[in-house]
Amino acid sequence: MDLAHNSVDGEFMGDEEAYDMVVLDLGLPERPGLEVLANWRKKAIAYR
């Protein structure tokens, strides 16, 4: 199990590692969790 205490670290971890499941807090420090999710989705589309 990996843990990030802010959205910047969490987004980086999600970029670097393929996780089967992520529990994403919408009220993370640094930036909103929905923004992190949107960024991950944009990157996934770009790699298709």
Q: Which residue has the tokens 């990996």?
A: 2
Q: Which residue has the tokens 């199990």?
A: 1
Q: Which residue has the tokens 């205490």?
A: 5
C-alpha–C-alpha distance, residues 6 and 26, integer Å: 11
Environment class of 11 (CB within 10 Å of its CB; exposed 0-12, middle 13-18, buried 19+): buried
Given this model, what pLDDT does residue 48 score?
A: 47
Given this model, what pLDDT does residue 18 score?
A: 86
Domain boundaries, the chain: 7-46
Q: What is the mean pLDDT of each run of 10 residues along the chain (48 residues)?
A: 94 91 91 94 72
pTM, two decimal places:
0.81
